[in-house]
A and B are shown apart, each in its own frame.
Chain A
Amino acid sequence: MGAYLRLEVRRTLRDPGFVIGGIAMPVLMYLLFTHLGGGQDAGWRTASMVGMAAYGAVGSALGTGGGVAEDRTVGWLRQLRVTPMPARQVVAGRALTGSVTVLPAITAVLAAGGLADGVRLALWQWVLTALCLWLGSIPFTLLGLGNGYRLTAQTTGVANMVCNLGLAVLGGLWFPVVLFPPWLRTLSAYMPTCRFAAIGSAVTEGHLPPIGAILVLTAWLLVFGAYAVLSHRRGAGAV
């Protein structure tokens, strides 16, 4: 499993699309957002930093699915099925790959905030924010994997984008939840993106991650995990 993880991380880091889209883009967008207009306060810079790190993490996490769809298209997953490596480990290894490859995005945006933009947090807040963003992205990795194992390389890209936008809007990352009608506000509270963002902002405001958010994200982890395993069973052999 460790060997599979090393192999796939290495392959991901050799992908120019990942380096640009998964690392450079979130940093640029963060710097753009916090430097346009001027007069932004520290609170906005911190919130934007967490938001963009989360955005980059969710994008990279979903992007893992694109790599999986590619692996299916070229027959690599089929080849893995005739090695002694169990199917469970292939899915788990890919999920771990996804969770490793979100780290550059998180680290880069937090570094830009702390070093270039003067965001000031206590050491425990930095560590906990990074940790929460990292762990919180795992459900999104599994969602991307579920798409990648099920769909073609092209449709995976589209599906990941739709998931990314849909979850972001429904989770209140684009428009504040207070603007939603009550039923949508209730729905929003159960969106993984809503809780993912809530954890990040709680920590930067000096609180511990809310237990409710952790529970909701864990539930999504199980749902998306099951989706990934089912998609793997269905999709990997059918190429």
Chain B
Amino acid sequence: MMKTPGTHPAVSFTGVVRTFGAVRAVDGVDLRIGRGGTVALLGRNGAGKSTAIALLLGLLEPDSGTVGLFGAPPERAVREGLVGAMLQDARAVPRVTVGELVAFVAGRYPDPLPVDRALRSAGIAELAGRRVDRISGGQAQRVRFAVALAGNPALLVLDEPTAALDVEARRAFWEALRADARDGRTVLFSTHYLEEADAYADRILVLDRGRIVADGTGEELRRAAGGGLVGVDLAGRTASRLELLPGVRSVEVRGDRARLRTDDPDATVVALAGLGAIRNLEVAPASLDDAFLALTARGREAA
């Protein structure tokens, strides 16, 4: 049997809704993720990331809509060994060694990685003989990564893989993931760290209140969020008139300096020049942070 039969996308959601009581955790998601590459599912806590991932893995059933992995229902793709997952909030499995655990999981898959390779990829080769419930939190996180990787899956799903890790451990984790980069493996990870999504994903899906509110590269999201930021010194002027300038969406004043968020930086700068207001001019593209805030704020107003 081929590892990834057919030409179906790795992941497809069609009109997927999942509610918990009155909360629409996933509220009409349509999406397709092709094969290969790394995709980030970005959203604040409670945006619906974990629910979306549980639906994707077949751990939850959608109320309506369909989820497919490689053109099959999630349960079947999982059964065929196409999926490896690092789940959120999993604790150490008691009374088992790292090597035993990874070897056991690898053995469930039709075409696994050699155990020592999975351990090395996760940077825990020297821990093989240690008990999983007697190592540090950061090491346990790496064990869970090795478990996800062990089956050499076509789709690797990581739910908040770096939550609760310190900066150094986070960096090491992403290095390990990069080093693994198998040809054709699709990696989907969820995070609420913008920098991680921007640095490690080819494509970012922004999830807010159960809906995909943006989809693209970090660069595309920045552009979609609108123009950029224009900064000038006020030099005694009042900032209120600046809000009326072309393109300006909002004005933020800090001390004597105004920062104008604008859809059209060129027009804004021309108008500022017309007012003779150019003092210490600075024009910058919107940061991904700005883009994220703008995108999720829009969703909030609409709701």
Residues of A within 8 A of B (CB): 3-4, 7, 10-11, 14-15, 70-71, 73-76, 78-79, 81-86, 237
Contact = CB atoms under 8 A, between A and B. Distances in A.
A75 B89 contact: yes
B91 A82 contact: no
Contacts of A14: 95
Interface string B60-103: 10000000000000000011110111010111111110001000
A11 B95 contact: yes
A-B residue pairs, 9 tightest by C-beta:
A75-B90, A74-B91, A14-B95, A82-B85, A11-B95, A84-B81, A83-B108, A76-B93, A85-B108
Nearest to B85: A82
A22 B104 CA distance: 26
B80 A84 contact: yes
Nearest to A4: B104
A83 B107 CA distance: 10
**Chain B CB within 10 Å, residue with most, of A4, A11, A79, A83:** A83
User: Helix, strand, loop or mixed for chain B's interface?
Assistant: loop
B91 A75 contact: yes
Contact of B100 (A10, A79, A84): A10
Given A7-B104, A84-B80, A84-B110, 16 more contacts: A3-B104, A3-B108, A11-B93, A11-B95, A74-B90, A75-B87, A75-B89, A75-B90, A79-B85, A79-B87, A79-B90, A82-B57, A82-B58, A83-B78, A84-B78, A84-B109
A7 B96 contact: yes
Interface residues of B, number: 30
B284 interface: no
B172 to A, nearest CB: 22
Nearest to B54: A237
B105 interface: yes
Contacts, number: 69
B147 interface: yes
B59 A3 contact: no
A10 B108 contact: no
Given A75-B89, A79-B90, A84 B151 contact: yes
A11 B97 CA distance: 10
Nearest to A78: B87
Nearest to A236: B59
A10 B104 CA distance: 12
Contacts of A70: 94
Contacts of A86: 79
A81 B79 CA distance: 9
B87 A3 contact: no
Q: Which of B78, B94, B157 has the most CB of A within 10 A?
A: B94
Contact of A81 (B59, B81, B105, B157): B59
Contacts of A10: 95-96, 100
A3 B112 CA distance: 15
Given A15-B95, A82-B57, A3 B81 contact: no
A75 B140 CA distance: 13
A15 B96 CA distance: 11
A82 B59 contact: yes
A75 B60 CA distance: 15
A78 B59 contact: yes
A4 B107 CA distance: 10
Interface string B138-165: 0000000001000100000100000000
